[in-house]
Each structure stands twice: as structure tokens, then as C-alpha cells.
């Protein structure tokens, strides 16, 4: 079977490596998408275990629509795909999709064409013209890029970043998949204290603890494909059993989650409990500008306000300067900070050892990584990088 895993822009490499580790074969990588081949059982395994994917789709086929009659071409191409292998006579389906860099720009028109093509195919197979039964409900999605249309069936249902532990969040929550990426890139270790001093709802330390304990992110939620008759119930049981068996029971990882806002601390404690990560994370109230090393080795990973929803741009600039001054006192601790502020390094007062472009929702951000000792850092002037800003994605 062919599949497509979608992800936030910038996470393709992490997602690809994750798919490799799960034993499936990657076939293609484009911005925000990694295609792979696997078995029907991999629908269960990848959904349950993926930390970086947003959704997992079954890929039914592709249609080149760069013809003189693109809608007719799309209709015939979709109609030729084997939908009856998945959708039964008593089932129903909905069609959604996106179009990028294509002359086919009307999403409603495209939805109608794809829906009619599927109904025509299934109607010829089942001898009926309307599919609104009380059976399984399928979500069919088209994605058109440069006039190449990919037709898929969603197996995830709710987006995979919704792990199930965060029913509530603060005003500017970080998507769980992005938080997992920040943690992975920071290389957490059992012998190094992991600290988010601006924890908000606790997403970063929770994801770090799940990574270190090898706890699958999808263990506490359900998926659309659990209702698909062609995916055996035994496959879901086996995948969950495998994931539970892979949890590292003797993990010695330790994380701190602190915040100046007591409401955030209480919310974090609640989410930690729901995630089952209380063994690894201590949540408490503290100003980020007052934290100390306590003589320990440590890594800080945080998502401070950007001046978009929390604080004003002027307040953020002041905060970044204070962070740079205070974090410089934390001996040789490694610091990882995500921000959409294009002038972050100048405000922080230090040139980052590495900057990685990531997306937080529609905000293009820099992930500023400080892992070298001060005497090893470049003496070159702090750059004005430009670029990170609000940007709408398709």
C-alpha cells in the first residue's frame, strides 16, 4: 500500500527518519509531505507512534491535470481509482482538499468533480447512485500541486498533534508535533536536566518526557481507521501492545516545567497527569529570569512570547534582552529558543550556533540553538537574518 504522511513545514527530515525507524519505505519527500510504502498494519503503527506527522493518508493515485480539459481529466482519473476496495455500499464519504500552484483554483468546484467521480465509480460497482448509509464514514482528500492531483483517504481523523492530554491550553499553545521536534533537536539526555522556564501548558516538557521514555504519542487517543473494516481489529491491538512494550520503564530522565503565571503551572500539572508523565516532570512557579543551575548540567528549551498574542513587541524586545543577560549566567547550559522575531539574536545579545527555520502555525520562526561554550562561539557580528514573519501557508 502507498501512504502519505503530512507534517508542518521544516519537520520533513525528522518525519522521514521516524518512518525509517518504524520500518516502512520512504518513496518521496516534498514540503510538508513524506510518501511511503507499507502494509495495512502500518496504518495502526504509524498513527500510534508518529511524533511529527499531522495525518496519515492512504494514497489512491495521482492525476496530471495539465490538459486542455483539466476538470474532465480529473474526473476520469479519479473514477479509475479503486475506491470500492475501501468504501462499501452502505458507507458514506466527504471530500475536502487543497490546490497549490495550479490553474485549478476553485476548491468547491474541485470537490464536486472528485465527489461525482467517486460516486460514479462506486455506483457502477454497487448499483446505486447515493451513498449516505449508516456504515463507515470516510474522508477523501485531494491535494493538487503544480497540476498534479493526489487523491487520498484520511486514516487519522483528528490531527495527530492532538495527543489527548491537552484538553485545555493557554492563550498561545504550541502544537504538540512542533514541541516534539524542538525537544528532539535539543537532544535530551537522562543525565542532563531539561527545563522549560516558560512552560505555558507544559507541552514541551511533556513531549520531551514522552520521547525519553519512548512513550508512543497516540496511545491515549483513537483514530478514524479504527472503524475501517479492511483494517483488522487485531492489528490495532497488536500495534498498541507493541507500543506499550516499547516504553522504557527504567528511564531516569528529569524535566522542570516552570512559569511566572500560577494558572499556567496548574494547567501544566493537569496536563502532565493526563499524559502520565508525572514521574519525569516537576512543575512549579518561578520567573524565568530567576532560574539557577543548582550546580547541575542542563538544557533549556522554551517558546517565549512573540509579541503576536502575548505581550507587545516592545515588551518582547525587553524580555529577550533580559533572557540573554540572565541565561548567560547559567554556566555552560545549552539553550534552545523558538521565536518569530526577525531580530531575536540582536535582542538576545548572542549569535546562535545554529538557526533552523520552522513553522508555528502560520508563523515562520527561527529555532535559535546555543550549544557551544562562549569561548568556542564565533566572534562575527550578530546578523540581521530577516525572514521570520507571519506567513499564510496552504
Give the residue among 39, 61, 34 at the shortest CA–CA distance from 50.
34
Query: From its phi and psi, is residue 200 left (phi > 0), alpha (psi between -120 and 50) or beta?
Result: left
pLDDT at 170: 58
pLDDT at 265: 96
State the pairing for strand pair 193-196/298-302.
parallel
Residue 185 has pLDDT above 60, yes or no: yes
Distance CA 196, CA 301 (A): 5
Q: What cell does 50 get?
A: 508518529
Q: Which residue has the higher pLDDT, 305 or 77?
A: 77
Distance CA 7, CA 173 (A): 17
In the block, which residue shows the cell 528529569?
254
Q: What is the mean pLDDT of residues 190-210?
A: 97
Confidence label for 168 from pLDDT (cuts 50, 70 and 90) = low
Distance CA 122, CA 128 (A): 8
Q: What is the mean pLDDT of residues 186-195?
A: 97
pLDDT at 305: 87
Q: What cell does 286 get?
A: 518561578
Residue 387 has pLDDT above 50, yes or no: no
302: Cβ contacts below 8 Å, ≥ 6 apart? 196, 197, 198, 204, 288, 336, 337, 338
Which structural domains are found in the chain, ordered by start? 2-154 (3.30.2130.30), 176-215+230-376 (3.40.50.150)
Cβ atoms of 262 and 157 within 8 Å: the answer is no
φ and ψ of 364, to 5 deg: -80, 125
Instruction: Measure the CA dihedral 247/361/151/107, to 10°.
Output: 160
DSSP code of 331? T
Confidence label for 346 from pLDDT (cuts 50, 70 and 90) = very high
Q: What is the CA radius of gyration of the chain?
A: 23
Distance CA 217, CA 207 (A): 8
Q: Which residue has the higher pLDDT, 128 or 39?
A: 39
Q: What is the mean pLDDT of residues 48-57?
A: 98
pLDDT digits (tens, 9 = 90+) for 37-49: 999 999 999 999 9
> Strand order in 334-339's β-sheet?
281-285, 255-259, 193-196, 298-302, 334-339, 363-370, 354-360
Distance CA 352, CA 383 (A): 10
Confidence label for 331 from pLDDT (cuts 50, 70 and 90) = confident
Q: Which residue has the higher pLDDT, 77 or 381?
A: 77
- The beta-strand segments (E) located in 65-123 are 92-100
In the block, which residue shows the cell 489527548?
164
Q: How far apart are the first and last CA of the chain?
A: 26
DSSP code of 289? G
DSSP code of 175? P
Residue 374 has pLDDT above 80, yes or no: no
The mean pLDDT of the chain is: 92
What is the number of alpha carbons within 13 Å of residue 158 lying toward its C-beta? 10
Q: Report the share of the chain in percent with pLDDT over 70.
A: 93
Amino acid at each position: 500500500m502507498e501512504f502519505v504522511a503530512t507534517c508542518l513545514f521544516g519537520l520533513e527530515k525528522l518525519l522521514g527518519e521516524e518512518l525509517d525507524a518504524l520500518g516502512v519505505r520512504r518513496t518521496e519527500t516534498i514540503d510538508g509531505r513524506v510518501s511511503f510504502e507499507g502494509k495495512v498494519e502500518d496504518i495502526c503503527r504509524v498513527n500510534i507512534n508518529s511524533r511529527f506527522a499531522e495525518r496519515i493518508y492512504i494514497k489512491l493515485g495521482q492525476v496530471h491535470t495539465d490538459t486542455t480539459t483539466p476538470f474532465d481529466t480529473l474526473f476520469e482519473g479519479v473514477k479509475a481509482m479503486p475506491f470500492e476496495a475501501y468504501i462499501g455500499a452502505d458507507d458514506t464519504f466527504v471530500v475536502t482538499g487543497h490546490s497549490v500552484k495550479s490553474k485549478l483554483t476553485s476548491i468547491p468546484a474541485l470537490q464536486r468533480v472528485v465527489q461525482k467521480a467517486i460516486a460514479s465509480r462506486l455506483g457502477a460497482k454497487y448499483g446505486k447512485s447515493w451513498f449516505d448509509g449508516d456504515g463507515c464514514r470516510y474522508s477523501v482528500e485531494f491535494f493538487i500541486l503544480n497540476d498534479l492531483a493526489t487523491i487520498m483517504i484520511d486514516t487519522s481523523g483528528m490531527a495527530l498533534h492532538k495527543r489527548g492530554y491537552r484538553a485545555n491550553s493557554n492563550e498561545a499553545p504550541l502544537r504538540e508535533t512542533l514541541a516534539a521536534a524542538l525537544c528532539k533537536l535539543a537532544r535530551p539526555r537522562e543525565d542532563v536536566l531539561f527545563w522549560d522556564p516558560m512552560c505555558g501548558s507544559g507541552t514541551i516538557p511533556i513531549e520531551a518526557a514522552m520521547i525519553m521514555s519512548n512513550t508512543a504519542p497516540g496511545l491515549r487517543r483513537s483514530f478514524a481507521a479504527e472503524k475501517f473494516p479492511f483494517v483488522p481489529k487485531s492489528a490495532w491491538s497488536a500495534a498498541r501492545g507493541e507500543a506499550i512494550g516499547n516504553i522504557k520503564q527504567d528511564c531516569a530522565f528529569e524535566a522542570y516545567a516552570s512559569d511566572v503565571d500560577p494558572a499556567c503551572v496548574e494547567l501544566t500539572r493537569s496536563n502532565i497527569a493526563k499524559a502520565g508523565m508525572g514521574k519525569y516532570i516537576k512543575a512549579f512557579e518561578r520567573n524565568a529570569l530567576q532560574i539557577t543551575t543548582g550546580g547541575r548540567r542542563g538544557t533549556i528549551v522554551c517558546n517565549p512570547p512573540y509579541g503576536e498574542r502575548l505581550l507587545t513587541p516592545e515588551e518582547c524586545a525587553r524580555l529577550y534582552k533580559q533572557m540573554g543577560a540572565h541565561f548567560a549566567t547559567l554556566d555552560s547550559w545549552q539553550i534552545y529558543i523558538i521565536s518569530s522575531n526577525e531580530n531575536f539574536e540582536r535582542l538576545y545579545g548572542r549569535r546562535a550556533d545554529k538557526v533552523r527555520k520552522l513553522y508555528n502555525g502560520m508563523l515562520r520562526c527561527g529555532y535559535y540553538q546555543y550549544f557551544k561554550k562562549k569561548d568556542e562561539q564565533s566572534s562575527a557580528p550578530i546578523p540581521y537574518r530577516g525572514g521570520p514573519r507571519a506567513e499564510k501557508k496552504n
